[in-house]
Structure 1
Amino acid sequence: MKKLLVACLMIICSVSTANAARGWGSTPLTNWELYLNNGVAYILSLELPEHCSYDRAQINMSATEFDKAQYAYVMSAKARNKKIRYVVDMDPSVTLCVITGLREVD
């Protein structure tokens, strides 16, 4: 029974650390552009992490309410010239950066 419990805890711990590479960017984006291309919204900025291809990160445009809200949020921030913080995968081997969280910064 103890071995089973230890095995379960090890699996849970390894799964939770698998997503540990995702996090808030180190600095807010102060100079950024928002554009659409082939049904995907992109944020373009030289301030994104170096591993993000083409200095851009994408916001998925699927039909989920979260993605719609995230796009509306970033459009509002852009219209008001706000700085933004973002969540992307920080693993350098991932070159297609997908934004999974946003926050305005003053």
Structure 2
Amino acid sequence: MKSFTTILLVFILLPFDTQAKRYWPSKTLTKWSLYMNNGVAYIRSDEFASHCRYSRGQINMDGTEFNRSQYSYALSAKARNKKLRYVVDSDQTICIITGLQEVD
């Protein structure tokens, strides 16, 4: 009985792996644009991951320091004509960008 309870607790408390994974898509954005619409910043490129609707990713401008910093980072990269890498979830069609990296 004790081993059954232990096994049951392990299965209950063990976090199950979900299908959604955050990842860095392999394709770097070389031709991209940055624009704002209704309080949301968008990065648009034909090089975006194929599962992202409208070939774009969004940075929610919800007032958090992290998202404001991401927008500033993208704005700086655009001003200096840098390429970008980004992080999105693998199963979302409205891709929310959760990380950015400049590439030379």
Shared fold (TM-score greater than 0.5)?
yes
Report 1:7-22 matches (<5 A): 7-8=11-12, 11-12=14-15, 14=16, 17-18=17-18, 20-22=20-22
The alignment's TM-score, normalised by the length of structure 1, stands at: 0.85
1:67-87 deviations in Å (ceiling 9; x for gaps) = 011000000000000001000
Q: CA RMSD in A?
A: 1.6
Structure 1 residue 20, shift from structure 2 partner: 4.8
- Higher Cα Rg, which structure: 2
| Corresponding residue of 1:6 | 10
| Distance in 2 of aligned mates of 1:65 and 1:18 | 28
In structure 2, the residue corresponding to 1:35 is in which secondary structure? strand
> What is the percentage of aligned positions where both structures have the same residue?
59
Structure 1: give runs of 5+ residues left out of the alignment.
Answer: none
The alignment's TM-score, normalised by the length of structure 2, stands at: 0.86
- For these two proteins, the number of residue pairs brought into alignment is 100
In structure 1, the residue corresponding to 2:23 is in which secondary structure? strand
Structure 1 residue ranges, 4+ long, deviating more than 6 angstroms after superposition: none
| Distance in 2 of aligned mates of 1:26 and 1:90 | 12
Which amino acid is 2:47 matched to?
E
| Distance in 1 of aligned mates of 2:58 and 2:40 | 7
